[in-house]
Amino acid sequence: MAKLIDGKAISAQIKAETALEVQELKDKGIIPGLAVVLVGNDPASQTYVNLKEKACAAAGIYSEKYALPANTHQDDLFDLVNRLNHKKEIHGILVQLPLPDGLDEESVIETIDPWKDVDAFHPSNVGRIMIGNYRFLPCTPAGIMEMLHREKISVAGKKCVVVGRSNIVGKPMAMLLLHDNGTVTICHSKTKDLEEICRCADVLVAAVGKPKFITADMVKPGACVVDVGMDRDENGKLCGDVDFEPVSRLASYITPVPGGVGPMTIAMLLRNTVTAAKIQNAIPDRQKVC
């Protein structure tokens, strides 16, 4: 039976560490600040933003929320982001995705000051991740790497398979595994022989957005399986991209849903915000994200 990787426990450790760093900055007269922009009334996005607000408060991070209507004009959103770019109290800016139809996500992301881009979605930060000289990392992939490191799961020299090629998770996840000396394969909807490729993985990351997509016959005995999915099964019950019960009997390590990767994302956002505050105040960062 696989050992569960407890994302709740690990995220709690990171949040506690971050709170200590925040206090150290406050002792220097610096209060890390995060602005979250929410456009529209998507229930999932509202939930995420509320969780981020609570996490900031618990860590001592100053936060501002800007809730805009779904019919917000692109230029008005640009104006808000530009104001936040120049607001000294704000060190990190997060525009909650997805945006409503009619708004150009790519253009909005490119408007964010790269030094305040705590989601690490700006092309400048994406390029830095590619070459390994990064300021910030996307929160979900960074959280996964943190989980692996804290569980002392090495990916060096191992076959790593990432199922999913999104800009938010799949692509940066592959880069981080590669930077950690894993041998990485990225799979997607056009991949041939997907099952066979997955069965070769020592580390398998499922980020495809399909409930229970990864089944036991796709998993190598003893593999480490990371489930990024947040789906609903045929009964409306929360589940991941991995068929948990049968896969957990094969794997050596596995992340549960809920309680696995999810809590790590917000923890890494807090850390990115503190890193941004240090950079903008020219304070050396003792630890690189991930």
Q: What angle do CA 222, 261, 241 make, to 5 degrees?
A: 65
- Provide the whole-model pTM: 0.94
List pLDDT tens digits, range 12-22: 999 999 999 99
Q: Is the pLDDT of residue 286 over 50?
A: no
**How far lies 140's CA from each of 88, 164, 243, 258, 290, in Å?**
27, 13, 20, 14, 11
96 is catalytic: yes
Nearest to 107 by CA among 63, 73, 136, 71: 73
Q: What percent of the chain has pLDDT over 70?
A: 98
Quote the pLDDT of residue 289: 38
Judge whether 142 and 176 are in contact, CB under 8 Å: yes
Nearest to 204 by CA among 235, 238, 167, 164: 164
193 is catalytic: no
The single residue listed with the structure tokens 């060096």 is 156
164 labelled ligand-binding: yes
Quote the pLDDT of residue 288: 45
252 labelled ligand-binding: no
Mean pLDDT over 97-111 rounds to 96
3-class DSSP state of 147: helix
Helix pair angle (261-280, 7-27), 10° resolution: 20
Judge whether 270 and 240 are in contact, CB under 8 Å: no
C-alpha 277/C-alpha 115 separation (Å) is 9
Which of 113, 119, 202, 241 is flagged as catalytic? 119
119 is catalytic: yes
Which of 52, 116, 171, 220 is flagged as catalytic? 52
Confidence band (pLDDT; 50, 70, 90) for 287? Answer: very low
Domains of the chain: 29-115 (3.40.50.10860), 139-261 (3.40.50.720)
List pLDDT tens digits, range 10-58: 999 999 999 999 999 999 999 999 999 999 998 889 998 999 999 999 9
List pLDDT tens digits, range 241-268: 999 999 999 999 999 999 999 999 999 9
C-alpha 14/C-alpha 21 separation (Å) is 11
166 labelled ligand-binding: yes
Quote the pLDDT of residue 152: 98
